């Protein structure tokens, strides 16, 4: 199981491009509107504001720790997430943090998560995940999981919107994933050397029988 939780080696406001998970898989992060265009940044919980709220996830510290990844300060510049894996994975789970979905655009928000077999081109699975409901003053944290339906996942996108109006600031954290391992049905078995010798011997014996009948 691979894990990226942004808790070690990061500072508040740091731009993030690539992060190496505990199992050696390298995850590359982008944000953008429809395509990857820029890098997300690290936000530390609490003041000063570097993400999208006055508390920056402080009410959720027990679940998200001290740092998380964000698409930036609240406002029209907030965008979608794009993640690419150096080694293929079969399933991914991610925490999505939001504050403004209910109060600003009359949420809850919907996260459309799409996984690809290559670099954001060939779709192998896509699901919509409905965000939490509750008091508008509370930060929300939702966890979603998606698989490649037995196919290898090389990249994924997270497109978040609230009543079709987009988001005005989100965070992601606690990314866990399972490395992809081809099933036995996808690998062609190779005969053992002893079996090959047996087949050769059988063929030679058959040829000898035909010669004797001439």
CATH top class, domain 2-213: mainly beta
Angle at 167 between CA 164 and CA 168, to 5 degrees: 140
Domain parsing of the chain, residue ranges: 2-213
Confidence band, pLDDT 50/70/90 cuts, at residue 214: very low
Residue 187 CA to residue 31 CA, distance in Å, equals 36
Closest by Cα among 119, 88, 95 to 170: 95
Across 4-38, b (16+ Cβ under 10 Å) vs e yields: bbbeeebebebebeebebeeebebbbbbbeeebee
For residue 151, what is the DSSP state?
S
| Confidence (pLDDT) at 61 | 60
Across 165-190, b (16+ Cβ under 10 Å) vs e yields: ebbbbbbbbbbbbbbbeeeeeeeeee
Of 23-32, 81-90, 96-105, the least confident: 96-105
- pLDDT tens digits along 89-126: 999 999 988 766 666 667 777 889 999 999 999 999 99
Q: Is pLDDT at 171 greater than 60 in this prediction?
A: yes
Q: Count CA within 13 A, CB hemisphere, residue 140.
A: 22
* Element counts in the chain: helices (H) and strands (E): 3, 11
- CA R_g for the chain: 25
When the pLDDT of each residue in the chain is averaged and rounded to a whole number, the result is: 78
| Confidence (pLDDT) at 113 | 96
Confidence band, pLDDT 50/70/90 cuts, at residue 47: low
Residue 106 CA to residue 102 CA, distance in Å, equals 5
Cβ atoms of 29 and 16 closer than 8 Å: yes
């Amino acid at each position: 199981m691979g894990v990226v939780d942004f808790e070690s080696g990061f500072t508040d406001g740091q731009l993030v491009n690539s992060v190496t998970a505990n199992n050696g898989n390298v995850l590359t992060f982008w944000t953008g509107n429809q395509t990857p265009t820029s890098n997300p940044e690290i936000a530390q919980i609490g003041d000063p504001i570097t993400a999208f709220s006055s508390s920056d996830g402080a009410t959720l510290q027990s679940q998200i720790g001290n740092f998380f990844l964000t698409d930036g300060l609240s406002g029209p510049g907030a965008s979608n997430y794009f993640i690419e894996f150096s080694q293929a994975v079969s399933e991914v789970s991610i925490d999505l943090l939001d504050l403004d979905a209910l109060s600003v655009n009359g949420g809850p928000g919907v996260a459309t998560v799409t996984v690809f077999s290559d670099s954001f081109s060939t779709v192998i699975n896509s699901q919509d995940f409905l965000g939490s409901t509750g008091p508008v003053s509370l930060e929300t944290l939702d966890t979603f999981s998606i698989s490649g339906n037995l196919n290898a996942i090389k990249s994924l996108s997270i497109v978040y919107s609230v009543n079709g109006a987009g988001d005005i600031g989100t965070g992601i954290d606690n990314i866990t994933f399972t490395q992809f391992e081809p099933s036995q049905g996808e690998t062609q078995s190779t005969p053992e050397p002893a079996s090959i010798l047996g087949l050769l011997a059988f063929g030679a014996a058959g040829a000898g029988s035909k010669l004797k009948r001439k």
